[in-house]
């Protein structure tokens, strides 16, 4: 079991980071929130979870141990693999997921790509006694309060992720503006913005502009 990796960030991608450990580049699958905390060339410490399959070894990286723990707990629910667990953490923080499960919030779970109404109901039942109560103020209530006080959290996450990938703040701002209609449509339909999909759309916009 690889508990964490420490070293300079050698490269960043839309969903991956490469951290140099002892002269070896470790490729980690990361959520946009985690990627937003990284800067190429700067040191980083990421908690990790190794997923072993017959044909692959995949290392998932997280900003902290709490995110890693929730990632692993989510996979104890039937039908939840590492990709879906990562998608859930790409849309919601660990505390937002705890709050959604503890309050039976189906809408929050169906905001995650790949989770329908029946799937959300099943997850709420299976995870109710596993995730526990929110640890702090970073849950859905905190996110809603932040949205009322300033820029929407998704805009900050997306902008930080783009800057972390090496784009200038002005380029990041223009890309965020370009995908805002898509984000607003998703919010109107599901109640939240799908940051991973918006990041891919923003990168496509930037690539076309170059």
Q: Give the separation between CA 27 and CA 74, rounded to whole angstroms.
A: 22
Give residue 140's pLDDT.
Answer: 41
Residue 142, pLDDT > 70, answer no
Give residue 47's pLDDT.
Answer: 94
Give residue 62's pLDDT.
Answer: 94
CA distances from 168 to 36, 45, 115, 160, 173 (A): 14, 24, 34, 10, 9
Residue 196, pLDDT > 60, answer yes
Residue 173, pLDDT > 50, answer yes
In degrees rounded to 5, what are phi and psi of residue 19? -110, 130
Q: In this structure, is residue 52 part of a structural domain?
A: yes
> What is the largest distance, in Å, between two alpha-carbon atoms of the chain?
49
Q: Which residues contact 149 (CB under 8 A, 6 or more apart)?
A: none
Q: What tens digit of pLDDT does each residue of 25-72 get?
A: 999 999 888 888 889 899 999 999 999 888 888 999 999 999 999 999
pTM of the predicted model as reported, rounded to 2 decimal places = 0.66
Residue 189, pLDDT > 60, answer yes
CATH number of the domain bearing residue 78: 1.10.150.20
The whole-angstrom distance between residue 166's C-alpha and the CA centroid of its chain comes to: 19
Q: Which of 81-90, 127-136, 188-197 has the highest mean pLDDT?
A: 81-90
Residue 43 shares a structural domain with residue 85: no
Q: Which residues contact 188 (CB under 8 A, 6 or more apart)?
A: none
Q: Which domain holds residue 182?
A: 151-209
Write down the mean pLDDT value for the chain.
83
DSSP class of 50: E
Q: Which one, of 45, 127, 142, 47, lies nearest residue 84 by Cα?
A: 127
How large is the C-alpha radius of gyration of the chain? 17
90 touches 195 (CB < 8 A): yes
Give residue 100's pLDDT.
Answer: 87
Q: What tens digit of pLDDT does each residue of 106-115 get?
A: 888 888 878 8
Q: What is the mean pLDDT of residues 85-106?
A: 87
**∠ at Cα 81 (158, 126), nearest 5°?**
100
Q: In this structure, is residue 141 part of a structural domain?
A: no
Residue 156 shares a structural domain with residue 203: yes
CATH number of the domain bearing residue 175: 1.10.8.10
């Amino acid at each position: 079991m690889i508990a964490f990796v420490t070293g300079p960030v050698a490269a960043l991608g839309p969903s991956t980071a490469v951290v140099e450990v002892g002269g070896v580049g470790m490729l980690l699958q990361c959520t946009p929130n985690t990627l937003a905390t990284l800067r190429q060339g700067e040191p980083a410490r990421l908690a990790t979870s190794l997923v072993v399959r017959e044909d692959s070894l995949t290392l998932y990286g997280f900003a902290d141990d709490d995110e890693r723990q929730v990632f692993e707990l989510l996979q104890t629910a039937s039908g939840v693999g590492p990709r879906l667990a990562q998608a859930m953490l790409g849309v919601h923080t660990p505390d937002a997921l705890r709050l959604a499960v503890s309050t039976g919030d189906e809408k929050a779970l169906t905001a995650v790509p790949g989770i329908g109404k029946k799937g959300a109901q099943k997850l709420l039942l299976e995870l109710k006694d596993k995730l526990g109560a929110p640890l702090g103020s970073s849950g859905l209530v905190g996110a809603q309060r932040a949205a009322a006080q300033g820029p929407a959290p998704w805009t900050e996450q997306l902008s930080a992720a783009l800057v972390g990938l090496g784009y200038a703040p002005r380029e990041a701002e223009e890309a965020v503006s370009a995908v805002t209609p898509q984000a607003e449509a998703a919010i109107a339909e599901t109640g939240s913005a799908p940051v991973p999909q918006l990041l891919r759309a923003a990168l496509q916009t930037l690539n076309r502009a170059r």
